[in-house]
C-alpha cells in the first residue's frame, strides 16, 4: 500500500513538473516580448533591456528555468546579501518567509508562499489577483458542481427507470453533447440562454 502511494506521488510530481515546464516554455520560447507588451511598440532599446533585466530574461534559459522553479517552490534557496545574484532574496518578491537553515555563508533555504511573479499588463502580483478573484471563482465552481450533480443524478434516475426508452437514449446523447462541447462555448450558450430572461 505504501509502495503504491509513493508511486502515485512520484507520478503526480512528474506530471506537475511536466506542466510547469510546458508553461515555462510557452511563455519564454514562443515569440513575443513582455517588455514590449509593458512599454508599447515605440519603446527604446534601453528601456526594453532594463525591463528584461528586471524580469531575468537577460539570463540563459536554464538559469531562467531554475529561477522559475525557485519562485514556484515553497521551499527554495536564496542569497540574502548579493542583489546582483539571480537567487537574491528580494523583499519585493517575498514579504514573509521562514528561514530553515543555511547552506553556505551566502545561501539560505527558506519556507515561503510561491511567488507567481507580476502581471505584464497590470504590474500587480499575480497572487494578489488570484486571491482577489478566489471568492467569486469558488461561488461559481460550487454552484456549477451543484447544478451539474443535481441534474445529472435526476437524469440518471429517470434513465434507469425508463431503460432503453427514447428518454434514456436522449439523455445519453445530451450528456455526451454537454461533455464534448468546449467550456468557453457552453459558457456563451448558457449566458445567452439565461440572459434572455434578464432583458
Of residues 124 and 12, more confidence is placed in 12
- The whole-angstrom separation of Cα 91 and Cα 142 is 36
Contact between 124 and 86 (Cβ < 8 Å): no
C-alpha cell at 61: 534559459
Instruction: Kindly report the number of other CB atoms within 10 A of residue 75's CB atom.
Output: 11
> Residue 165: inside a domain, yes or no?
yes
pLDDT range class, residue 93, cuts 50, 70, 90: confident
> Residue 19: inside a domain, yes or no?
no
Q: List, for residues 118-143, the tens digit of each pLDDT value.
A: 877 777 888 888 899 899 989 988 98
> Residue 4: inside a domain, yes or no?
no
- By DSSP bridging, strand 97-102 and strand 75-78 are unpaired
> Residue 90: inside a domain, yes or no?
no
- The total number of structural domains in the chain stands at 1
Q: 134 lies in which domain range?
A: 126-198
> Residue 176: inside a domain, yes or no?
yes
Q: List, for residues 48-75, the tens digit of each pLDDT value.
A: 787 777 777 888 888 889 989 988 889 9
Residue with grid cell 505584464, as numbered in its chain = 120
> Residue 169: inside a domain, yes or no?
yes
Q: List, for residues 138-162, the tens digit of each pLDDT value.
A: 998 898 889 888 988 888 888 888 8
> Residue 24: inside a domain, yes or no?
no
**Residue 30 confidence (pLDDT):** 72
> Residue 114: inside a domain, yes or no?
no
In 3D space, the residue among 29, 86, 80, 78 whose CA is nearest the CA of residue 55 turns out to be 86
Q: Can you give the three-state secondary structure of the chain, one letter per residue?
A: CHHHHHHHHHHHHHHHHHHHHHHHHHHHCCCCCHHHHHHCCCCCHHHHHHHHHHHCCCCCHHHHHHHHHHHHCCEEEEECCCCCCCCECCCCCCCCEEEEEECCCCCEEEEECCCCCECCCCCCEHHHHHHHHHHHHHHHHHHHHHHHHHHHHHHHHHHHHCCCCHHHHHHHHHHHHHHHCCHHHHHHHHHHHHHHHHC
Contact between 34 and 51 (Cβ < 8 Å): yes
Amino acid at each position: 500500500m505504501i509502495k503504491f502511494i509513493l508511486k502515485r506521488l512520484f507520478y503526480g510530481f512528474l506530471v506537475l513538473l511536466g506542466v510547469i515546464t510546458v508553461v515555462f516554455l510557452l511563455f519564454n520560447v514562443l515569440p513575443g516580448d513582455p517588455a514590449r507588451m509593458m512599454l508599447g511598440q515605440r519603446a527604446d532599446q534601453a528601456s526594453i533591456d532594463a525591463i528584461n533585466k528586471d524580469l531575468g530574461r537577460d539570463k540563459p534559459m536554464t538559469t531562467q528555468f531554475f529561477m522559475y522553479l525557485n519562485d514556484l517552490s515553497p521551499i527554495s534557496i536564496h542569497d540574502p546579501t548579493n542583489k546582483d545574484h539571480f537567487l537574491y532574496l528580494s523583499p519585493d518578491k517575498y514579504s514573509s518567509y521562514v528561514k530553515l537553515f543555511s547552506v553556505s555563508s551566502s545561501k539560505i533555504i527558506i519556507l515561503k508562499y510561491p511567488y507567481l511573479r507580476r502581471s505584464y499588463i497590470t504590474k500587480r502580483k499575480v497572487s494578489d489577483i488570484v486571491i482577489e478573484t478566489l471568492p467569486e471563482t469558488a461561488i461559481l465552481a460550487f454552484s456549477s458542481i451543484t447544478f451539474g450533480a443535481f441534474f445529472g443524478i435526476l437524469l440518471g434516475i429517470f434513465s434507469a427507470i425508463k431503460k432503453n426508452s427514447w428518454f434514456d437514449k436522449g439523455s445519453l446523447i445530451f450528456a455526451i453533447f454537454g461533455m464534448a462541447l468546449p467550456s468557453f462555448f457552453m459558457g456563451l450558450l448558457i449566458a445567452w440562454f439565461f440572459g434572455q430572461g434578464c432583458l
